Amino acid sequence: MRVLVAMSGGVDSSVAAALMLEQGHEVVGATMKLWGGPSDSGCCSVADVEDARRVCQQLGVDHHVFNFTSEFERQVVAPYVAAHGEARTPNPCIACNAHLKFDRFLQRAAQLGFDAIATGHHARVACTAGYWELRRGRDDAKDQSYVLYMLGQAELGRLCLPIGELTKTEVRQLAGVHGLRTATKPDSQDVCFISRVGGRESFISERIPVRQGRLVARDGEQLGTVDALELVTVGQRRGLGLVTRSRPERRYVLDVDLLSRTATVGTLDDLLVDRVEVDQLSWCAGPVAAGTVVQAQFSAHGSPVTAQWDGDDRAGAVALARPVRRVAPGQAVVLYRQGQDGDVVLGGGTAA
């Protein structure tokens, strides 16, 4: 099988390429150049591209660079900025997976005559009863199935995830066995287009107006101000300046209203909800029926919560068995199968 491996320059994709070679496939590596602006983190630096090229050289396979910067700007960066202007909290990595890694990259692979693509994601793909299933990776601490929920049958059927059965420790051990230069390279943790120097505030304020907002209690009492209301997110506690000696109780953002320029804050109990509205749904193997009991997860490494799905194939809500902190609008809500097969992703969407 001819396999195009998405090479980020990290240890996971390096080992993915090595494993595909070991399995006897014809392998070519390709790195996506996504962000054309300044960056000191993520997977888009010149050093990362060079690491990917050198790993391919070590493995004896060809390496290509695909320039997807215009698509990345249009499909990831612009929506990220626009979401902040609407008091939403976007997840750019999910947008990148949906539009670049498992759309544009897949298209390019097909155009070049490849049978499948492979990535270094910690997740698994399996065929059960004639359907492709997306499953959690074996390493719970590194599982990335949450950010892959948008993959349907067409994508899963052409996707190899060779490190999904491995722990991170095992991945690094294999990289060492193969003598790969990325064996001890630290994992990337940050959004690739947000630099550590200016941070999110600088990036957003250069692209849209950000203005001061008021912090108010649920009864309307004004408690303080924030410099940039567009950067405040539901559930936020730090950076509000509200905890003082006379007011020691922690306060959390409950809601952000850009029209009135206010963020409502309250206690942790005020933040708890037992129902989360979801839209922009995507299903791995078809929608689940209303009333189905599922496991709902609200962050990449959050604890899943038993819930009942109440909706159709496009929008709905999860009624939770126990209260959770309010999910910021724009964040992903991912549904997993209930029971012994709780590592199977059913689909997911965006918190409304």
Residue 83 resides in a domain:
yes
Range of the domain at 57: 2-120+162-177
In this predicted structure, what is the pLDDT of residue 295? 98
Residue 277 resides in a domain:
yes
* Rounded distance between C-alpha atoms, residue 237 and residue 225, angstroms: 14
Cβ atoms 182, 10 nearer than 8 A: yes
Tokens of 277: 């509205």
Quick one: 170 and 77 in the same domain? yes
- Give the SS3 label for residue 183: coil
Mean pLDDT value across the chain: 95
CATH of residue 302's domain is 2.40.30.10
Tokens of 149: 């929920």
Residue 147 resides in a domain:
no
DSSP assignment, residue 28? E
* Residue 195 pLDDT > 80: yes
Q: What are phi and psi of 107, to 5 degrees?
A: -60, -45
Q: Sorting pLDDT into bands at 50, 70 and 90, what band is 222?
A: very high
Tell me the pLDDT tens digit for each residue of 17-53: 999 999 999 999 999 999 987 665 556 678 899 999 9
* Rounded distance between C-alpha atoms, residue 140 and residue 136, angstroms: 8
In this predicted structure, what is the pLDDT of residue 224? 93
CB atoms < 10 A from the CB of 86, how many? 12
Quick one: 6 and 83 in the same domain? yes
As beta bridge partners, residue 117 has: 4, 159
- Give the SS3 label for residue 225: strand
Q: Sorting pLDDT into bands at 50, 70 and 90, what band is 241?
A: confident
CATH of residue 217's domain is 2.30.30
pLDDT greater at residue 103 or residue 196: 103
Quick one: 221 and 103 in the same domain? no
* Residue 138 pLDDT > 90: yes
Quick one: 18 and 112 in the same domain? yes
Quick one: 334 and 310 in the same domain? yes
Quick one: 305 and 255 in the same domain? no
Range with the lowest mean pLDDT among 80-89, 156-165, 171-180, 336-345?
Answer: 336-345
* Residue 245 pLDDT > 70: no
Quick one: 286 and 347 in the same domain? yes
Tokens of 107: 């298209």
Quick one: 228 and 319 in the same domain? no
CATH of residue 62's domain is 3.40.50.620
* Rounded distance between C-alpha atoms, residue 174 and residue 11, angstroms: 10
In this predicted structure, what is the pLDDT of residue 44? 64
Quick one: 47 and 171 in the same domain? yes
Residue 57 resides in a domain:
yes
* Residue 104 pLDDT > 70: yes
* Rounded distance between C-alpha atoms, residue 120 and residue 103, angstroms: 16
Residue 285 resides in a domain:
yes
Residue 61 resides in a domain:
yes
Quick one: 300 and 231 in the same domain? no
What's the mean pLDDT in 270-287?
98
* Residue 244 pLDDT > 80: no
Quick one: 76 and 54 in the same domain? yes
Residue 207 resides in a domain:
no
- Give the SS3 label for residue 277: strand
Q: Sorting pLDDT into bands at 50, 70 and 90, what band is 140?
A: very high
The pTM for the full model equals 0.95
Quick one: 280 and 261 in the same domain? no
Q: What angle do CA 39, 67, 75 make, to 5 degrees?
A: 75
Q: What residues are annotated to the active site? A: 96, 192
The domain total for the chain is: 3
Extract the runs of DSSP E, i.e. beta strands, from 82-168: 116-118, 123-128, 131-136, 159-160
Residue 208 resides in a domain:
no
**Largest separation between any pair of C-alpha atoms in the chain:** 68
Q: Which of 297, 281, 315, 299 is nearest to 307 (CA)?
A: 297
In this predicted structure, what is the pLDDT of residue 37? 75
- Pairing of β 222-226 and β 131-136: unpaired
